[in-house]
Amino acid sequence: MGAAEHDAFTLQRGESPLLVSVPHSGTLLPGALADRLTPQAQALPDTDWHVEKLYECAPSLDVTCLVAHYSRYLIDLNRDPSGASLYPGRSVTELCPTTSFAGEPLYRQGEAPSPSEIDTRRTRYFDPYHAALRAELDRLKARHGFAVLLDGHSIRAEVPRFFEGRLPDLNLGTAGGSSCAQELAQVAANVLERAGMTWVANGRFKGGFITRHFGEPEAGVHALQLEMAQTAYMDEAPPFPWDPERAAPLARVLRRLVTSLRDWRPEGSRGNTAGTE
């Protein structure tokens, strides 16, 4: 169906039941916001670097893709706007983060966003992305009788603020099994198990707000999150370059994952079948 452009995201529509969301790979900052950030924050170290490139196979597989343009330092599209913690008792960042994953201030003294500015950012950037997600999932569900959402993320392999030691390469989250059908979670687990990489299901990362909010398997919308350790495909040191040789095996795993999720059908589903590779 082609692409739909919004200044906050790019939407590439497909006709299969699967939608891939990439909310944290954006690097844009509006207006003078960059000047309000500390020099360390201006390098955007907590970006989900190059994740959109890892999923570039998706449009050719007739999969819908939604990719955000702006940095998570502007607003985090995967946080509960109510402020409720996704991981009670653990350190977390806010809807509009004020500290980095390293626990350092993002803003220069006196430059952190006010409540009214946060509300404006939510209206301008958060709400359109989530409205697009809802509209596309509704479209796919109307076509097939169900829809599948894969929310794609990455993070440095070691972030002491959030977890001890090194993160597995592949971290599947299904909100502890509540955001998608058990059979679909097993399909994803089978791909990861054969990947030749370290992996875990519902470990430190069980799925963020997008997975938990949109995943309603009883209503026909199945959501999963995949968090990847960045050492599996890139150099984690600035300027955070893509490593084609290191990324190639992971890209092949993701192609198999996307294809498997695209082709899955719940028992008794209706609608057209997906295309083939």
**pTM for the whole structure:** 0.94
Integer angstrom CA distances of residue 251 from 7, 113, 126, 212, 243: 27, 37, 28, 25, 12
Q: What is the pLDDT of residue 92?
A: 73
Determine the Cα–Cα distance for residues 188 and 260; give it in Å rounded to an integer: 7
Determine the Cα–Cα distance for residues 221 and 135; give it in Å rounded to an integer: 12
The DSSP 8-state label assigned to residue 269 in this structure reads: -
How does residue 270 score in pLDDT terms, banded at 50, 70 and 90? low
Residue 98 tokens read as 């004020």
Determine the Cα–Cα distance for residues 170 and 154; give it in Å rounded to an integer: 9
Q: How many CB atoms within 10 Å of residue 31?
A: 7
**pLDDT tens-digit series, residues 71-127:** 999 999 999 998 877 777 676 789 999 999 999 999 999 999 999 999 999 999 999
Sequence length of the chain is: 277
Integer angstrom CA distances of residue 107 from 180, 237, 241: 38, 21, 25
Domain 2-263 has CATH 3.40.30.10: no
